[in-house]
Amino acid sequence: MTPTQETPEAHGRVADAVRGNWVDHWAPASWRPYLRLSRADRPIGTWLLLLPCWWGIALAAAADAPRLSDLWLALACAAGAFLMRGAGCTWNDITDRKFDAAVARTRSRPIPSGQVTVRQALLWLVVQVGVSAAILLSFNTASIVLGVVALLPVAVYPFAKRFTWWPQAFLGIAFNWGALVGWTAHAGSLSAGAVLLYLSGLVWTLFYDTIYAHQDKEDDALIGVKSTARLFGEDSAHWLTGFLVVSVGLMAAGVLVALLPDAPPLTLALAIAAPWAFGWHMLWQLRRLDIDDTETCLRLFRANRDTGLIVALFLAAAAIV
């Protein structure tokens, strides 16, 4: 086998995809480049977009009362998260195609490797947004408006790393919007508790995406791309500790504001356990972090699915007791 045949591009794979992913093994060959554009071969992004939606639904249900319609909201958010994460990644790859071609980890993506043209990627983007819009129209009016507004940070995010050292903050604005949509889809309007929950998720994104960005810091420096990983450098652990504390504090405040003074003791106990378990899982990550080990950074970044799922499970339990 020649060196060219051994590269991910030669097989149409993406270098940082999850090994053994379903796209590479089960999807029809003609669909694979488009599914890779949507990062269907790397489900962690869908989880990180979905989980704040579930937080919002569950906390609103705990503050009010769970309804059978919440099951539809949870399923619709799952489908919407898959589609909108795919749309966001497609847009990101269109705007970043020249940067991606210059970075070892990303040059095997569908556009820089020639598997998909920009025109084809744009058409795929429209399809994903269109199906997402159809799902969103099943929600109440307030959450539909919030869903439409969410398109603005999604559109801006790919350009953020060109003009600010804090692109992770723009990702946090976009990726945690579901906490507001999920709450509003159940409750019909926003509240202070939902906003605090959203801000907690935003700071959590600063935590996990700084870890993720340490994989690319050397290539980013060469091509002039900014990130919090480059900004913080060797002080990253101190910043991450601060993000942990702020994120946990905001989530705890959101839970208390949403549930006091009327929540039953067991509901309150289960809900307030969510931010503490959330914080302990982030602390577990910090103790294992090596910012110069790319494999460790990727593994810890992916572990944040469990970090967010812990919160969703505690809040869901609080809603149904």
Return the pLDDT at 24.
81
Q: What's the pLDDT band for 98 if we cut at 50, 70, 90?
A: confident
Q: Is 142 within 8 Å of 155 (Cβ atoms)?
A: no
Task: Name the percent of the chain lying above pLDDT 90.
Answer: 76
Query: Is residue 169's pLDDT more than 80?
Result: yes
φ and ψ at residue 108, rounded to 5 degrees: -90, 5
Domain count, the chain: 1
User: Is 31 inside a domain boundary?
Assistant: no
Selected residue with higher pLDDT from 224 and 173: 173
The answer to whether residue 60 sits within a structural domain is yes
Q: For the ranges 65-79, 104-118, 173-187, 306-320, which has the lowest average pLDDT? A: 104-118
pTM of the model: 0.89
Asked if residue 3 belongs to a domain, the reply is: no
- The answer to whether residue 165 sits within a structural domain is yes
Collapse the DSSP code of 122 into the 3-class scheme (helix H, G, I; strand E, B; otherwise coil) and give the result: helix
Q: Is the pLDDT of residue 13 over 70?
A: no
Please determine, for residue 11, whether its predicted confidence score (pLDDT) is greater than 60. Answer: no
Q: What is the pLDDT of residue 229?
A: 96
* Position 6 in a domain: no
More confident call, 18 vs 172: 172
- pLDDT band for position 101 (cuts 50, 70, 90): confident
Evaluate if residue 15 carries a pLDDT over 60. no
SS3 of residue 149 by DSSP: helix
Q: Is residue 260 part of a domain?
A: yes
Residue 1 belongs to some domain of the structure: no
Here the tokens at position 222 are 């060469």
Tens digits of residue pLDDT in 80-89: 999 999 999 9
Percent helix, percent strand, percent coil in the chain, to nearest 5: 75, 0, 25
Q: Is 25 part of any domain?
A: no
- CB within 8 Å of 112: residues ≥ 6 apart: 97, 98, 100, 101, 106
215-244 in b/e burial notation, b at 16+ Cβ within 10 A? bbbeebeeeebbbbbbbbeeebeebbeebb
Write out the residue range of the structural domain in which residue 228 sits: 38-320
| CATH number of the domain encompassing residue 106 | 1.10.357.140
Q: Rounded distance, CA 301 to CA 211, Å?
A: 6
d(CA 55, CA 86): 21
Mean pLDDT value across the chain:
91
